[in-house]
């Protein structure tokens, strides 16, 4: 029995025929012909995006236990492309994605692609379901599908979870899985550790193992970026010098990282000198380097310099991409020139550069910071029509309306997100649950908490604690006990070989 039975006001998620809970059949009204995909002349071939959307609709509208039946009765025949699209859409809902992954695996004339396995591995690692993740690795090994990237994906996820020993273990166990570690794998391990703020461990491994491989410019760039992120500018300079001394000439990526490090260290003038050195050596700055410089000028409130850099970039024949435009928009927002920021968005569309979720988030965050929440909602509605919001977008909007004590609007944003078949992240769930707890609405908060855990997402301590206090206040120890039991099932799994 779930929270749906313990707490009222639960909305049914799909139409169920019959009363037998053990064998529920779900009515699917979409014509079967829409889903037929095959090579026979009598079968109607449909666009994979449309099919993926219909699969996502079934997945978001049916309870977990009825999903296999709903998919079976839909008449869907999946392809590699469809499965990959669906898994990407549900990357934040690991266990729900895994149920679909398992269902697809059983379909006739279908086999998972390497990419599908990798997406699923990432999704499971995100919710720390490491046992299941390694089961997939073993499945790939039995089919001869393992490659270097498989282990790089796992190393990245372990490192991001601050499981440094497990990341190193993954590298060391590659031979056991008949995958020979090479420079790409070595770089993958160093990169995973560096990006997760474990640069000292990465440097230690580099020093101990560099003679087993032949470090290239990418290897040194990884270490350079790590020390820059630390931040440790003297060590970054030392790595740059070691790179040159070892015979590896700096490339465009290395220069870009050095410019980024100097800008973040507040040494903008030195960064400009590095750019001049690049140009002198015949290496033209990229749009990334210009975006870093423009973004830095924005942080320093040097809007004139940001504009001049943008114009200089255009004069040099470098075409602005979405990252450059976002940097310029951010610079205008920093100095509260939102009309100019909107003009940049208009210019983007004229030049055929589509705004992305980052564009939306920069504007919304800036407006919320100025307490212009109505304007933030207008921007959300406008840009969500031309670009897909991400988890940060929805989280910001829901949190904003909760703080404004407009729970109905927050719930409308949530429903809009569900209609778009977007799988919410842990932070998105938490924003709404916290808001509902603040309003004393234990019923809806509990339903969301259960849904969150059903998707394999472990609630944060603060969010669970807030709901716990509310339930205890209302004397609902029975519901709290049920949720605590659900929570216990999501205990982190140990490293599995």
Please name the helix (run of DSSP H) or strand (run of DSSP E) that holds residue 26, with its range, or none. Answer: strand 25-26
For 199-208, letters b (16+ CB in 10 Å) and e give: bebbbebbee
Distance, in Å, from the CA atom of 59 to the CA atom of 22, rounded to the nearest integer, reads: 19
What contacts 203, CB < 8 A, 6 or more positions away? Answer: 223, 226, 227
Selection from 113, 148, 147, 153 nearest residue 133 by Cα: 153
Q: How confident is the model at residue 34 (pLDDT cuts 50, 70, 90)?
A: very low
pLDDT of 381 reads: 92
Lowest average pLDDT, out of 21-25, 286-290, 391-395, goes to: 21-25
Lowest average pLDDT, out of 69-73, 99-103, 304-308, goes to: 69-73
Does residue 17 register a pLDDT over 70? Answer: no
Distance, in Å, from the CA atom of 299 to the CA atom of 167, rounded to the nearest integer, reads: 35
Distance, in Å, from the CA atom of 134 to the CA atom of 288, rounded to the nearest integer, reads: 37
Q: How confident is the model at residue 63 (pLDDT cuts 50, 70, 90)?
A: low
pLDDT of 379 reads: 94
Does residue 373 register a pLDDT over 70? Answer: yes
pLDDT of 48 reads: 85
Q: How confident is the model at residue 42 (pLDDT cuts 50, 70, 90)?
A: very low
In three-state secondary structure terms, 268 is helix
Higher-confidence residue: 58 or 43? 58
Q: Is the CB of residue 35 less than 8 Å from the CB of residue 69?
A: no
- The sign one gets for the Cα dihedral 433, 439, 444, 445 is positive
Write the burial class of residue 340 (CB in 10 Å: 0-12 exposed, 13-18 middle, 19+ buried). middle
Q: Is the CB of residue 477 less than 8 Å from the CB of residue 471?
A: yes
CA dihedral 162, 171, 240, 262 (to 10 degrees): -30
- The sign one gets for the Cα dihedral 166, 180, 214, 220 is negative
pLDDT of 414 reads: 95
Of the segments 15-24, 70-79, 301-310, 479-488, which one has the largest average pLDDT value? 301-310
List the alpha helices (DSSP H) in 106-216.
114-126, 130-142, 148-160, 164-172, 183-195, 199-209
pLDDT of 10 reads: 32
**Average of per-residue pLDDT across 441-465:** 90
The tens digit of pLDDT for each residue in 186-245 reads 999 999 999 999 999 999 999 999 999 999 999 999 999 999 999 999 999 999 999 988
Write the CA distances from 369 to 345, 361, 414, integer angstroms.
20, 12, 22
Average pLDDT in the chain: 86
**Average of per-residue pLDDT across 303-331:** 95
Higher-confidence residue: 159 or 45? 159
Selection from 417, 420, 419 nearest residue 431 by Cα: 417
Phi, psi of 26 (to 5 degrees): -110, 130
The tens digit of pLDDT for each residue in 178-197 reads 999 999 999 999 999 999 99
pTM of the model: 0.70
In three-state secondary structure terms, 179 is coil
Q: How confident is the model at residue 46 (pLDDT cuts 50, 70, 90)?
A: low
Higher-confidence residue: 189 or 12? 189
DSSP-assigned letters across all residues of 463-489: HHHHHHHHHHHTT-HHHHHHHHHHHHT
- The sign one gets for the Cα dihedral 12, 14, 18, 20 is negative
Q: CA angle, 340 as apex, 335 and 346 as ends, to 5°?
A: 145
Does residue 21 register a pLDDT over 50? Answer: no
Distance, in Å, from the CA atom of 427 to the CA atom of 460, rounded to the nearest integer, reads: 8
pLDDT of 91 reads: 86
Selection from 276, 259, 255 nearest residue 268 by Cα: 259
Q: CA angle, 430 as apex, 95 and 476 as ends, to 5°?
A: 90
pLDDT of 9 reads: 35
The tens digit of pLDDT for each residue in 335-364 reads 999 999 999 999 999 999 999 999 999 999
Q: Is the CB of residue 87 less than 8 Å from the CB of residue 116?
A: yes
pLDDT of 3 reads: 47
Q: How confident is the model at residue 491 (pLDDT cuts 50, 70, 90)?
A: low
**Average of per-residue pLDDT across 76-91:** 91
Q: How confident is the model at residue 494 (pLDDT cuts 50, 70, 90)?
A: very low
Does residue 5 register a pLDDT over 50? Answer: no
Query: DSSP code of 320?
Result: P
Does residue 74 register a pLDDT over 70? Answer: yes
Query: DSSP code of 14?
Result: S
């Amino acid at each position: 029995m779930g929270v749906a039975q313990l707490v009222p006001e639960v909305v049914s998620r799909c139409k169920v025929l019959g009363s037998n809970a053990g064998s529920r059949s779900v009515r699917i009204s979409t014509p079967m012909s829409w889903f037929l995909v095959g090579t026979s002349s009598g079968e109607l071939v449909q666009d994979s995006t449309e099919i993926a959307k219909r699969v996502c609709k079934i997945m978001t509208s049916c309870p977990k236990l009825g999903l296999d039946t709903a998919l079976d009765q839909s008449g869907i025949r999946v392809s590699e492309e469809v499965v990959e699209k669906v898994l990407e859409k549900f990357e934040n809902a690991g266990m729900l994605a895994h149920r679909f992954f398992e269902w697809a695996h059983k379909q006739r004339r279908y086999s998972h692609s390497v990419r599908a396995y990798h997406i699923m591995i990432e999704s499971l690692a995100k919710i720390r379901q490491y046992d299941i993740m390694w089961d997939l690795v073993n499945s790939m090994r039995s089919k001869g599908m393992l490659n270097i990237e498989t282990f790089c994906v796992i190393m990245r996820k372990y490192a991001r979870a601050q499981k440094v020993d497990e990341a190193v273990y993954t590298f060391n166990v590659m031979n056991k899985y008949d995958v020979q570690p090479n420079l790409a794998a070595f770089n993958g391990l160093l990169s995973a550790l560096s990006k997760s703020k474990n640069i000292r461990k990465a440097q230690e491994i580099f020093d101990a193992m560099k003679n087993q491989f032949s470090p290239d410019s990418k290897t040194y760039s990884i270490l350079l970026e790590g020390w820059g992120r630390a931040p440790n500018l003297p060590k970054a300079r030392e790595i740059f010098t070691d790179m040159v001394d070892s015979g590896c000439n700096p490339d465009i990526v290395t220069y870009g990282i050095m410019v980024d490090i100097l800008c973040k260290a507040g040494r903008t003038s030195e960064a400009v000198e590095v750019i001049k050195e690049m140009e002198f050596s015949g290496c033209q700055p990229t749009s990334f380097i210009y975006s870093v410089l423009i973004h830095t000028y924005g942080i320093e409130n040097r809007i004139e310099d940001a504009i001049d850099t943008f114009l200089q970039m255009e004069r040099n024949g470098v075409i602005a991409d979405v990252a450059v435009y976002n940097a310029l928009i951010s610079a205008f927002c920093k100095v509260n020139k939102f009309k100019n920021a909107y003009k940049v968005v208009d210019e983007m569309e004229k030049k055929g550069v589509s705004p992305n979720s980052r564009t939306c988030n920069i504007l919304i965050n800036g407006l919320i910071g100025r307490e212009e929440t109505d304007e933030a909602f207008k921007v959300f509605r406008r840009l969500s029509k031309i670009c897909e919001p991400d988890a940060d977008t929805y989280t910001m909007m829901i949190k904003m309306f909760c703080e404004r004590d407009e729970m109905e609007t927050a719930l409308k944003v949530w429903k809009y997100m569900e209609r778009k078949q977007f799988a919410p992240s842990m932070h998105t769930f938490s924003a709404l649950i916290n808001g509902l707890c603040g309003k004393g609405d234990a019923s809806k908060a509990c339903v969301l908490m259960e849904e969150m855990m059903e998707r394999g997402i472990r609630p944060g301590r603060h969010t669970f604690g807030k709901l716990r206090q509310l339930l205890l206040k209302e004397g609902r120890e029975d519901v709290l006990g049920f949720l605590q039991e659900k929570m216990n099932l999501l205990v982190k799994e140990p490293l599995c070989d």
